[in-house]
Chains A and B, each alone.
Chain A
Amino acid sequence: MKFYPVKVEAREEIGGYTLLHYRWDGPVEPGQFVMARVAGYPVTFDPFLARPFSFYDHDGETASLLFEVRGRGTALLDDARDKIEVTAPLGRGFRVNGAGGPVALLGGGIGVAPLKVLSRRLESMSIPYDVFLGFADARYSDVAREFPGARVATVDGSTGVRGTVLDAAPNLDRYAAVYACGPNPMLAAVKRAAGENATCQLSVEERMGCGNGSCNGCVVPVRDGGYVRSCIEGPVFDAEVLAW
């Protein structure tokens, strides 16, 4: 896999998350991701693998990645102040066609990450949308300010509705399309709540090894039996394809 060294142009902390900006003037589709790591290969073989991150935003010149420090790989990226290494955009993102009226965007925790660049796409297509975000607590929900008008839920009730993102988003079946990213149980609940009439696309968060389809490590179960790779066939799936 080819990695490109890129300069960290800016680093922000938004609540419990880190946002890294770097220059990337190639095309980016909403819902696509990159594999990212700190610079220094092949000297640093530990950690060996890069980590997958959805694009948070992209304005044509600068891209950004929003992430939560969960382990060694993300901790090292969080400390990166100069250069990181990223792949070109990967995977199959959200398919937006704009037919049939307003759409709903749902993010659970760090699943908020791909919704910013998706909302930009929707605005460019003049498609109205509502944003619903769920977080553990008020510390993480700070990022909701980046989504004016978003309805927020927190598990501890410290901000917004007490509960999950679905408690902030009644009547999902009224939308022409539902786009969501978050942990699998949340996505399964979104799929049920969206009903069968709406277009429902779900961006999964799986651990990845390679990002280029080779290792078969990031699979999700599909309705027709077996597994498909979230890095190639996803990470955004039509909800009806998934087994859960």
Chain B
Amino acid sequence: MVVREKTTREKLAVELCGVALETPLMPASGTMAKEALGEVAGVYGAILPKTTTPKERAGNPPPRIAETPAGMVNSIGLQNPGVEKFLEGLDDFDLGLPVFVSVAGDTVDEFVALCERLSVDSRISAVELNLSCPNVEHGGLTFCAGPASVEEAIHASRAAFPDKPLFAKLTNEGVVANAVAAEGAGADALTVINTIPALTIDPERQTVLVRGGLSGPAIKPVALRAVYDVSRAVSIPVIASGGVATGTDAAEFMLAGATAVQVGMASFVREPMEILREFSDYLERMDTTASGLIGAL
């Protein structure tokens, strides 16, 4: 029997929680507007629009962003039109790819309400819980403050979103313990990591410029460590996020254990196609496939 050589495209395919992805790349939440969709056809394996919340959020007053060495601190404040308007506009994101939806709530009940609403929408292939937002019932600590609140949010969301994959996006602090708790509470995959708490100061005006989250290549080694450690602590898939800027960055995250890789800020300064091309070239050079890379250290 002759085994047919896999084509370049076939070598890129991965499966994530039963969802077939043409490539392991996808946008990180909040980094790809519909205006940028023209650059991602044929590049990403899934689409992941900006986080939605139960009600419209105006977001934070400017300044919202400040560049830092090889990165950026942002404090956008989850500006979004609310879940109903989000769903009205969701067809704009239809590239024939699986659509993953990032959600955030102030309370466990809000996560549950969002999950219930999205569970009945056939266009949605999976939900990603953004657990980095403040939990107003617990003094404003984020849902990632510890395993107990991670478990509570995921357990309740799991019941409200029973039929399709549920991802939990975790912050770096305490990520391994939170990952174990998330798996135990029923998460199907873990997105690791969110932006890292950070601050910038304007020394001329002697004021805080932006207090928010750091992203970009500056955080890549931190994210890589988190993906590596989490992958060894849980048996569910890990979706890497944090500072991916090149195709070899994506490969490194998969070697560390990731099944898929999110591209964030890099899409602001590069064409996502370039990143996929570099990743594909890497696979050719190493004579392997995307799925063959996963945890292959």
B-binding residues in A (CB < 8 A) = 1-3, 37, 41-42, 45-50, 73, 206-207, 209-221, 225-227, 232
Q: How long is the Cα–Cα vector from A12 to B142 in the complex, in angstroms?
A: 51
- For B31, the closest partner residue in chain A by CB is A214
Least CB distance from A153 to B in Å reads 24
Whether B72 lies near A48 (C-beta < 8 A) is yes
Q: Which of A41, A218, A219, A225 contacts B269 (CB 8 A)?
A: A41
Contact A212 B62 (CB under 8 A): no
Known: A210-B268, A227-B59. A215 touches B76 (CB 8 A): yes
Chain A binding surface SS class = loop
Interface size counted on chain B using CB atoms at 8 A: 37
Asked whether, in the complex, the Cβ of A214 is within 8 Å of the Cβ of B64, the reply is: no
The CA of A73 and the CA of B66, in the complex, are separated in Å by: 13
CB distance from A234 to the nearest CB of B (A): 13
Find chain B residues with CB under 8 A from A3 CB: 269-271
B35 touches A1 (CB 8 A): no
Closest Cβ–Cβ distance, residue B157 to chain A (whole Å): 25
Contact residues, B11-68 vs A (CB, 8 A): 30-36, 39, 50, 56, 58-59, 61-67
Q: A45–B36 Cα gap in the complex (Å)?
A: 21
Residues of A within 8 A of B62 (CB): 206, 218-220, 227
Pairwise interchain contact B70-A46, C-beta atoms closer than 8 A: yes
Are B59 and A219 in contact (CB-based, < 8 A)? Answer: yes
A216 to chain B, nearest CB (A): 5
* Complex CA–CA separation, A45 to B31 (angstroms): 18
B35 contact from A50, A213, A219, Cβ within 8 A: A213
**B67–chain A nearest beta-carbon distance, Å:** 5
Alpha-carbon distance between A131 and B79 when the two chains are bound, in angstroms? 38
Query: What's the least CB distance linking A136 to chain B, in Å?
Result: 15
A37 to B267 alpha-carbon distance, docked (Å): 15
CA distance A218 to B72 in the complex (A): 13
Selected contact of A215 from candidates B31, B56, B63, B66, CB within 8 Å: B31
A207 with B63: CB separation less than 8 A: yes
B294 CB-CB contact with A under 8 Å: no
- On chain B, the residues within 8 Å of A45 by CB distance are 70, 216-217, 245
CB-based contact B33/A209 at 8 Å: no
Cα separation A211 to B269 with both chains bound (whole Å): 9
Q: How far is the CA of A2 from the CA of B67 in the complex (A)?
A: 20
What are 16 A-B pairs with beta-carbon distances under 8 A?
A1-B36, A42-B246, A45-B245, A48-B70, A48-B216, A48-B265, A50-B268, A206-B62, A207-B66, A213-B34, A214-B32, A214-B36, A214-B267, A215-B65, A216-B79, A217-B72
